[in-house]
Structure 1
Amino acid sequence: MKLAIVTDSTAFLPERIQKHSDLFVIPIPVILDGKIYNEGIDIEAEEYYGLLKNSKEFPTTSQPALGEALELYESIAAKGYDTIISIHLSSGISGFVHNLHTIEEAIDGVKIVPYDSKITSMPMGHMVEAALDLADQGKSLEAILTHLDVIRDNTYAYLIIDDLNNLVRGGRLTNGAAAIAGLLKIKPILTFENGKIVLFEKIRSSKKAFNRAEEIIGQHKQEINRPLKLYVIHANNPEMALEEQKKLQERYPDVSVEIGYFGPVIGTHLGEKAIGLAISAQ
């Protein structure tokens, strides 16, 4: 088996695998003031948040065209690969990974496996990293997919959003949850449930919301009987990310806490200043 791993640009990839010869990344478009930017190619996170502050229109995102994915798969096949695992942004946020099933048998002699991460950003990047490492170790396709399932089934993320308007306007959170938040002047904790972003708990202040999220992460830490990874992910909010990293590291000193950021696509949905706390099985 010669295996390629495909992912999309919402994955936060560890530096050590970014140039891996078996890794291929599909950019996801962001539309800002009528201009299309391909995440990771035309625009990076730091530049994007600067443009976002001065944008006249509400930004939107779009799925990559299926034709682009098929062209990439064909180019991978031409390099001699016979197997592709395509790990993508949660189907609860984007229909892209679901649509890939329509072309999974399009290339003769190449097995294409679309894989719904049910998450995004750093935990999804960890899945990509794990798949590449296992392939380098000569593991079978079945063993790699089984391990990806273990990571996915033991990944939890909690989001503390500065402003819910982006999620509501983008259709990624129900208006009801936003209305409740506004009425009670609460700071909601959001989470992923079956790959969709939902309201987890209503908290009265940011400080209490962060404390509660840290506590929930600790509960999962006790439940997951495997080596773990902890993440702090931010949308142009590095100071708060560092603060949360320090707090989590002091609270859970036996697990290293990594910091990453939400790129333009996820930043569009969550809004600037959002913070995510996540835990994954290794």
Structure 2
Amino acid sequence: MTKKIAWITDTAALLDESFIQKHNIHVLPLNIVFAEGAFRETIDMTHDEFYDKLRVAKDHPKTCQPAIGEMVVLYEKLKANGYDCAVAIHVSSDLSGTFHSSQTASQMANFKVYSIDSKIGSFPMVKMIEVGKELIEKGHNVEDVVAHINKMTENSELSFIPSSLNQLHKSGRVSGTKAFLSNLLNIKVIISFDNGKVVMKEKVRADKKAKKYVTDLLRDDMKKADIPEVAVINCNNTKDAESWRDELLQEFPKLKVLVIPLSACVGVHAGEGTTGLSWVRY
């Protein structure tokens, strides 16, 4: 008998509403905590409202995972609605406790949840959901599908370039001196995911060199694997992201290139203006 499977993620994937409705995805919101209180991403504020608040905030906001109680309520509801199990794909466990809370909530609700640590965020999480659902629809069993998605976590890439180090300084990621010198000398840092951890990949002078460095990472991977899609990711910087997309299409006319926003939780740390690239190797 075919199992009734629910699909769950969090707002680090930042799914658009049409995708959520089409695939019946249950989304747990990450929280952005300003001085006046916590706001659930995509529910309590729009992205435009978030960046408006971020620009004028006297105290730098923090981010936190969904409340475990929300997960328990969701799992109990799914069980009551006849679901046999759920597949939950969450943001890297090195950035958030969401993945571990999902495992705990599964036990509390006595509901089988295959919790997956994506080891990343954004675009690759979307692809994991798409591919996973396609495999289920083709008749693959859920355990094999989960194993396939876990393999995808090892083949996913995301690198981004903060527009400045000011926001990283405010969030405690870099010192004030480093931020000052970076802005003074127009030094750009390239930040990437490495087995779930966020690491500084390189420091270069000027935007053009930073973009070339990230694009070179893509070029190298394209020589070794099939990469049908690339996402140009951004924190409220659609203009530069679209320009980067056009450059990629000029070099790789057969490549599918998307322009997608990053979660506001990334914006808290990386800052407005951030751009980058993300892809999955097949």
Instruction: Give me the whole-angstrom Cα distance separating, in 1, the residues matched to 2:83 and 2:256.
Output: 35
Q: Match of 1:42, SS?
A: coil
Instruction: Report the CA distance shift for 1:13/1:138 in structure 2 as closer, same or farther (over 3 A).
Output: farther
Offset of 1:161 from its aligned partner?
A: 0.6
Instruction: Give me the whole-angstrom Cα distance separating, in 1, the residues matched to 2:265 and 2:7.
Output: 21
Match in the other structure for 1:193: 194
In the alignment, structure 1 residue 239 sits paired with structure 2 residue 239:
yes
Question: 201-210 or 120-129, which moves further after superposition?
Answer: 120-129
Instruction: Give me the whole-angstrom Cα distance separating, in 2, the residues matched to 1:248 and 1:148.
Output: 27
Instruction: Give me the whole-angstrom Cα distance separating, in 2, the residues matched to 1:17 and 1:243.
Output: 25
Instruction: Report the CA distance shift for 1:151/1:121 in structure 2 as closer, same or farther (over 3 A).
Output: same
Offset of 1:83 from its aligned partner?
A: 1.1
In the alignment, structure 1 residue 270 sits paired with structure 2 residue 270:
yes
Does the 8 A contact of 1:181 with 1:188 survive in 2? no
Instruction: Report the CA distance shift for 1:280/1:269 in structure 2 as closer, same or farther (over 3 A).
Output: same
Match in the other structure for 2:69: 67
Instruction: Give me the whole-angstrom Cα distance separating, in 1, the residues matched to 2:181 and 2:211.
Output: 16
Instruction: Give me the whole-angstrom Cα distance separating, in 1, the residues matched to 2:115 and 2:268.
Output: 24
Identity score, percent = 32
2:21 pairs with 19, 22, 31, which one?
A: 19
Pairing of 1:250-265 with structure 2 (within 5 A) = 250-265=250-265
Give per-residue Cα distances to partners, 1:78-108, cap 9 Å, x unaligned: 1111111111111121122123222333334
2:40 pairs with 38, 41, 45, which one?
A: 38
Offset of 1:175 from its aligned partner?
A: 5.0
Offset of 1:219 from its aligned partner?
A: 0.5
Does the 8 A contact of 2:60 with 2:171 survive in 1? no
For the aligned residue pairs, the C-alpha RMSD in angstroms reads 2.3
Q: Match of 2:109, SS?
A: coil
Instruction: Give me the whole-angstrom Cα distance separating, in 2, the residues matched to 1:6 and 1:218.
Output: 32
Q: Match of 1:80, SS?
A: coil
**Number of equivalent positions:** 279
Instruction: Report the CA distance shift for 1:107/1:177 in structure 2 as closer, same or farther (over 3 A).
Output: farther
Offset of 1:131 from its aligned partner?
A: 2.1
Does the 8 A contact of 2:169 with 2:176 survive in 1? no
Instruction: Give me the whole-angstrom Cα distance separating, in 1, the residues matched to 2:152 and 2:189.
Output: 26
Instruction: Give me the whole-angstrom Cα distance separating, in 1, the residues matched to 2:42 and 2:177.
Output: 32
Instruction: Report the CA distance shift for 1:94/1:81 in structure 2 as closer, same or farther (over 3 A).
Output: same
- Normalised to the residue count of structure 1, the TM-score between the two structures is 0.90
In the alignment, structure 1 residue 128 sits paired with structure 2 residue 123:
no
Offset of 1:53 from its aligned partner?
A: 1.4
Instruction: Give me the whole-angstrom Cα distance separating, in 2, the residues matched to 1:122 and 1:180.
Output: 31
Does the 8 A contact of 1:181 with 1:202 survive in 2? no
Instruction: Report the CA distance shift for 1:176/1:118 in structure 2 as closer, same or farther (over 3 A).
Output: farther
2:50 pairs with 25, 48, 51, which one?
A: 48
Instruction: Report the CA distance shift for 1:125/1:178 in structure 2 as closer, same or farther (over 3 A).
Output: farther
Instruction: Give me the whole-angstrom Cα distance separating, in 2, the residues matched to 1:221 and 1:16.
Output: 30
Does the 8 A contact of 2:190 with 2:200 survive in 1? yes
Does the 8 A contact of 1:3 with 1:82 survive in 2? yes
Does the 8 A contact of 1:181 with 1:187 survive in 2? no
Match in the other structure for 1:148: 149
Give per-residue Cα distances to partners, 1:167-195, cap 9 Å, x unaligned: 34435x46599569738652111111121
Instruction: Give me the whole-angstrom Cα distance separating, in 2, the residues matched to 1:196 and 1:180.
Output: 25
1:7 pairs with 9, 19, 26, which one?
A: 9
Amino acid paired to 2:153: R
Match in the other structure for 2:91: 89
Instruction: Give me the whole-angstrom Cα distance separating, in 2, the residues matched to 1:174 and 1:144.
Output: 39
